[in-house]
């Protein structure tokens, strides 16, 4: 299985110790599609922290289905979304930009986070996700 690289389009990718970063190729492609230094106009995206990939969650989460079809991002530029989304303009802008960009990815499925929660492009009700972006692929 492919691995999530440690740099994507100039952005450093950091991993929680517990993360198994071998995932479906579509997840790697999704991250390549959404992550770039200039994803949010006026802000520089320098690092993303991946708190979960092919691990941790229990079935039927898409994190453990098949080959790892989901990934969670919980920090932007070293700042936890849980603490900084509401009070730091760069964290908010970059988080929103990543979620918005993911809506344009052809294999998108779930796109949950502080900005909105959508599944297959439609509003979706699910608890949590104020502290991280969860994206999954079909
Ligand atoms: Zn997740």
Backbone angles phi, psi at 76, to 5 degrees: -120, 125
Q: How far is the CA of 42 from the centre of ligand 1 (A)?
A: 28
Task: Count CB neighbours of 32 within 10 A.
Answer: 14
Backbone angles phi, psi at 66, to 5 degrees: 60, -115
Q: Which of 138, 86, 89, 88 is nearest to 114 (CA)?
A: 86
Q: DSSP state, 48?
A: E
pLDDT tens series, the chain, 138 aa: 899 999 999 999 999 998 888 999 999 999 999 999 999 999 999 999 999 988 756 666 777 665 689 999 999 999 999 999 999 999 999 999 999 999 999 999 999 999 999 999 999 999 999 999 999 999
Ion ligand 1, residues whose Cβ is below 5 A away: 70, 72, 134
Report strand pairing: 47-52 vs 11-15. Answer: parallel
């Amino acid at each position: 299985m492919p691995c999530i690289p440690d740099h994507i389009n100039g952005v450093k990718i950091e991993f929680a110790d517990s993360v198994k970063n071998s995932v479906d190729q579509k997840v790697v492609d999704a991250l390549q599609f959404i992550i770039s230094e200039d994803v949010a106009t006026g802000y520089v995206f320098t690092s993303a922290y991946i708190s979960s990939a092919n691990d941790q969650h229990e079935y039927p989460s898409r994190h453990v289905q098949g080959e790892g079809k989901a990934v969670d991002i919980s920090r932007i530029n070293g700042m936890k979304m849980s603490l900084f989304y509401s009070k730091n303009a760069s964290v908010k802008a970059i988080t929103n930009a990543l979620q918005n960009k993911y809506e344009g990815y052809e294999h998108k499925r779930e796109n949950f986070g502080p900005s909105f929660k959508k599944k297959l492009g439609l509003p979706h009700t699910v608890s949590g996700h104020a502290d991280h972006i969860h994206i999954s692929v079909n």
